[in-house]
Chain A
Amino acid sequence: MTVHQPRYKTSDEVDFVIIGSGAAGGILAKELSTNGFRVVVLEQGPYLTEADFNHNEIEILAQDKLTNHPKLQPNTFRKTPDEKAKPQRALVYGRCVGGTSVHFTANFWRFHEIDFIERSKIGPIAGTGFMDWPITYADLEPYYTKVEWEIGVSGLAGASPFDPPRSKPYPMPPLPVKSSGVIFERAARKLGWHPFPAPMAILSQARAGRSACVNCGFCLGFGCEVSAKSSSLATAIRMAERTGRCEIRPNSYVHRIETDANGRATGAVYFDEKRNTHLQSAKAVVVCANGAETPRLLLLSANKQFPNGLANSSGIVGKYLMLNSGGVVTGQFEHPLNDYKGFAVSRVLHDFYELDPQKVGFYGGGGLDARFDFTPISFAFGGLPPGTPRWGKDFKAALAHDFNRTMEIFCHGTSLPLENNSFSLDPDLKDAWGLPALRLTYKDHPDDLKLGNWMFARAHELFDAAGAQKKWSFPVGEQQFAVHLLGSCRMGNDPKTSVINSDHRTHDVKNLFLCDGSSLVTSGRGQPTMTIQALAFRAGDRITGLAKRGEISA
């Protein structure tokens, strides 16, 4: 935090208050402040920087230093709305300046053209809310390119025959290949598939005062000590600060959006670190709190005028949640891969991005990636083959042999939007601030599970082709834990079936905008952050246009 920031008073009516500083909030802070607006970003978590990041697995993975804390922010889960939800940890997200982009894997595929128009192409799917986006890939393409060049994405244009059209190559070459990537590439080609270097939001070359990746091996789950991971913290937030018009206010837990008699948002009410309450006034409110906290905030903001929650005339705030289907198949090889070195993923393939429902018997599609995303302790608890003793001489021998010889194939896939799948307010459980806890209701569509099993079979084929000495996976089960938080305030032209329009403006409140995973209409094939950031760049343009034409205040 070396850059001078303005300090706005809460009574100053700034142009925009942005709630959340993650993948989308960071980009919007940068775009709106760069375009001349006065911006306050309210982030519920602390302002940590590179000096605060470390390789301490206890602090990071067991004590949730960078993420939502299950004790302070408990959750409940149920499969269907007729069940009573039980307390259980139901989601993880980044809770610090930079949000989830601080600790993510940084897999940065673009969505493909099909993701935006698939409903038109294959027709309706009974019992689901499957629909087209109000924008197309072509609308978003310039913003995908902007993400790649402004925050820094490594990759190789044209390496995948399935890639959608692009207006510019990547700004830097792919990261080095890992042993897992070479094994994956060779085996996939034997099978006639088309692996390619993974597009990653991690620098392969020094850029804009940031270092290239030094392959330290503590990547997924951890903050990057050398700023090589292109988190919002390392990129957009700092650009926003340099404008001198953007204040990042950490430890600010927003729990209500205020509205006036005309039904317009007037600002955001939050607890500071000492749990004192403040109202930050603003001409417009932009919520980028993630696909769980954004709908929760709208529901928490219910008042006489908006009894079902803010921007919820449709009744679908929080609903049509999609978590992305998939899972992992693990394999072991004869020689050391040493895959603990470096970032997680170096090869991907998209041959199964668009499966033909007539042929496979279900809707869906996905991608496979080659990775090793364990750290030493997490490997000891989760990386050994089933049946390995959990302690003693044989446990130790397995650890010693397997740690360097293991890799994973991650299967990423679609989820269908179902009305019952949602984030909502738990009627009983409260968080440490006395606010209703998040309740997750989720039951995968049968096609999502079929897809998961189908993709697993491909990963097993790949391991066979690669000559793996061992391989294993656990049956694809119904999900009870959310990481990708998508579709819960989705975009659309019809106010009855969507929450925001294609400008990210809520249908019901003219000066209230939402942009994050909740905006997505379909789930893509996993790896949503690239698309969330492209949407945020586009939203920055749209909102700036509306503001400059006086269409927000009118």
Chain B
Amino acid sequence: MNELNRRDFLLRAGTGLSATWVSANWLAILSAATHAHNAAKAQTPPKFEFFNPEEATEIEAIATRIIPTDETPGAREAGVVYFIDRGLASFGVEDQKTYREGLPELQARVSEMFPSVSKFSGLAAEQQDAVLHSFDERSDSPRRAFRARPGAQNFFETLRQHTIAGFLIDPDYGGNHDGIGWKVIGREREHMFQAPFGYYDKDYPGWQPAAKEAEKK
């Protein structure tokens, strides 16, 4: 793509940006967009590096209760399990132990609460939530007395944070597949924005000194 074509591309891609504004900030926009594009290209195709397929199923099942799929997509559609897997093999190596030890403890709680079931993924959604509430220290739900499982509690908290991060991270950095998390929270996936930004500044008449404001009353 030569520079001129790229500019056309950006003009089309950057919805709501005026041509004058883009042209005034052209170099900066190009460098930012190219940079992001290169980062996106560097992503590897989804393939598990840390989890085995069975673990991945369980992790995804838990992540799906942390950010469920309802009228809008959730952790599953955002590919959070892939983000976590890659994270544990790279920046989050020190959390590997938390996952290795915590997941079996969590599964033990599943059998404690629902003796006929051995896997989290085998429970109905409400049952899954009940298991997770039993680890959530700050949960309001009534809790039965269970054997303390600090490993699983720590694991749940870590997985909660990783799921949220994988859902909301800039899609150029290995999670938030297709910008799904940002669509859910209403964040446009652009690398640059032009005023007006929101409802309250769209009709702002420009700065006026307070004295004039007082006269208007």
Contact = CB atoms under 8 A, between A and B. Distances in A.
Interface of A: 50-51, 54-59, 62-63, 156, 159, 161, 174, 176-183, 189, 194, 197, 206, 211-212, 214-218, 225-228, 333, 335-342, 376-377, 379-381, 390-393, 395-396, 399-400, 403-404
Interface in B144-202: 160-161, 163-165, 168-170, 172-173, 181-182, 184-187, 191-201
24 contacts: A50-B31, A54-B39, A54-B170, A56-B173, A58-B169, A156-B207, A176-B196, A176-B201, A177-B204, A189-B210, A206-B25, A212-B25, A216-B193, A226-B25, A226-B29, A335-B200, A336-B198, A338-B199, A377-B165, A380-B164, A381-B164, A391-B132, A392-B68, A400-B185
B66 A392 contact: yes
B164 A226 contact: no
Given A380-B168, A400-B185, A404-B185, A392 B24 contact: no
Contacts of B28: 211-212, 214, 225-228
B108 interface: no
A181 B196 CA distance: 12
Contact of A179 (B138, B186, B197, B210): B197
B129 interface: yes
B186 A177 contact: no
Interface residues of B, number: 55
Contacts of B113: none
Contacts of A54: 35-36, 39, 170, 172-173
Nearest to B90: A58
B7 interface: no
Contacts of A216: 32, 191-193
Contacts of A227: 28
B23 to A, nearest CB: 11
B91 A178 contact: no
A182 B193 contact: no
B197 A194 contact: no
A225 B38 CA distance: 14
Kindly list the 9 A-B residue pairs having the minimum CB-CB distance in the complex, ordered from nearest.
A211-B28, A335-B199, A176-B195, A179-B198, A226-B28, A338-B198, A179-B200, A214-B192, A376-B168
Contact of B67 (A189, A225, A395): A395
Contact of B187 (A62, A215, A403): A403
B170 A212 contact: no
B65 interface: yes
B72 interface: yes
